[in-house]
Amino acid sequence: MAKSKIEWTESSWNPVTGCSKISLGCENCYAERMAKRLQAMGQQNYKNGFKVTCHLKVLEYPLKWKKPRIIFVNSMSDLFHEDVPFEFVQDIFKVMNRAHWHTFQILTKRPERMLIFADKLNWTPNIWMGVTIESYKYKDRINILREIPAIIKFISAEPLIEPLGKLDLTNINWMIVGGESGIGARPMSSSWVEEVKVQCEKFQIPFFFKQWGGTNKKKTGRILNGKIYNEMPKIAFA
């Protein structure tokens, strides 16, 4: 099992790797940088670099992991990318359905394609579905997410590169906020974070502050107003 350094999950599972840029948050994609580094190191799963690639041999890994884990699905890709065949998406869901002792977190910037498939997939309670909202320009993704029959629906406002403005968080169960990190990281204003946090409080939604980001995210840390926010959805894990 790949232990994850991402603060809001425990492990990662990548039956698909590779992606392509679709919105403003993709500009400094960490997964692209990592994929190219792994390709240069000779890692077999990244022989295609950041080109979308399905890995059949990785598909049933979660079934072998007996200890319950929170698992981020495709941290190095987007499950609903147009180059991922729907049949493979179905196969991934079947594994998640069978591995009921784990909690799976899926995150997409392509909710339109997700919605096309939604009623053909089995959304067992252990599957959480999220969308990335890095700018006010993509707030419509929340409306699409609301139509998905996942019990836990969440938003990742990371990298938060612009203020989001007023949000309709009806039927949303969790909010993650974080700044961009790495080379060329765009700065995040504390007022943007506070604006989201206040709205989460209004809708009584758990708030998770991941990081301030920047070129040295360890130095900038993740303390907001003297506190670390690690709030998670209140519904028990499957």
Q: Which run of H or E residues covers position 217?
A: helix 217-220
Contact between 37 and 29 under an 8 Å Cβ cutoff? The reply is: no
Separation between Cα atoms, residue 146 and residue 162, nearest integer Å: 23
User: What is the pLDDT tens value at each position of the chain, 238 positions in all?
Assistant: 568 889 999 999 999 999 999 999 999 999 999 999 999 999 999 999 999 999 999 999 999 999 999 999 999 999 999 999 999 999 999 999 999 999 999 999 999 999 999 999 999 999 999 999 999 999 999 999 999 999 999 999 999 999 999 999 999 999 999 999 998 999 999 999 999 999 999 999 999 999 999 888 888 999 999 999 999 997 654 4
Domains of the chain: 9-228 (3.20.20)
The strand pair at 227-228 and 223-224 is best described as antiparallel
pTM of the model: 0.95
Contact between 195 and 136 under an 8 Å Cβ cutoff? The reply is: no
Give the count of beta carbons closer than 10 Å to the beta carbon of residue 221: 12
- Overall size of the chain counted in residues: 238
Separation between Cα atoms, residue 218 and residue 228, nearest integer Å: 14
Residue-wise pLDDT for 99-120, tens only, equals 999 999 999 999 999 999 999 9
